[in-house]
Amino acid sequence: MSEANAKSMSIIVTKGSLDWGYPPLILATTAASMGLNVTLFFTFYGLALLKKKLDVQVTPLGNAAMEMPMMGMHMAMPNIIGMIPGVDSMATSMMKNMIKKKGVASLEELRDLAIEAEVRFIVCQMTMDLFEYKQEDMIDGLEYAGAATYIETATQSEINLFI
């Protein structure tokens, strides 16, 4: 990591649900392990992934492609079912069980691995203010900054993604 001539990747992380948390953290940890310098810029709901106490959920609402494997079949959830209180937490625990069973890393584990691999975490200060988040509720080692800091990083990166 951090070789001067290494390639770089940045990702804007805008989503903070259990399912949307995976792509940026998988790509960040993998790219870092392949020698890239990686920067994650967390904005809006992406900040949910940075809380000390990670408590993210998945919702079937508005997610037409979400189907859970069940007894050899796949079960989709119509929106009207997704609206019932408790369905989100049921879907979340189903997904967490699946994640464990299939040997997929937990989000906490991937986040720890990203930090260990020296992935740079920039947090949108505007979102901190907007949602009234406190720095003490967030994990350590974060850089609080704004769009200009991201843009400067992005101009120096071969890969820039928005998730």
Out of 15, 26, 63, 125, the residue judged to bind another protein by CB under 8 A: 26
Q: In angstroms, rounded to a whole number, what is the distance separating the alpha carbons of residues 58 and 135?
A: 25
- Which residues partner with 162 through β-bridges? 12
Shorter beta-carbon distance to another protein: residue 104 or 161: 104
Please report, to the nearest 10 degrees, the dihedral formed by the alpha carbons of residues 49, 52, 58, 62 taken in order.
-50
- The reply to whether 127 sits near another protein by the rule CB under 8 A is no
Please report, to the nearest 10 degrees, the dihedral formed by the alpha carbons of residues 73, 79, 84, 88 taken in order.
60
Element (H, E) at 92: helix 87-101
Shorter beta-carbon distance to another protein: residue 104 or 139: 104
- The reply to whether 104 sits near another protein by the rule CB under 8 A is yes
- Distance in Å, CB of 53 to another protein, minimum: 23
Q: State how far the alpha carbon of 58 is from the alpha carbons of 18, 61, 73, 134, in Å.
A: 5, 9, 20, 24
- The reply to whether 52 sits near another protein by the rule CB under 8 A is no
- The reply to whether 115 sits near another protein by the rule CB under 8 A is no
- Distance in Å, CB of 11 to another protein, minimum: 14
- The reply to whether 97 sits near another protein by the rule CB under 8 A is no
Phi, psi of 16, deg, nearest 5 = -130, 35
- Distance in Å, CB of 33 to another protein, minimum: 4
Residues forming contacts to another protein in the complex (CB under 8 A) are: 26, 29-30, 33-35, 102-105, 113
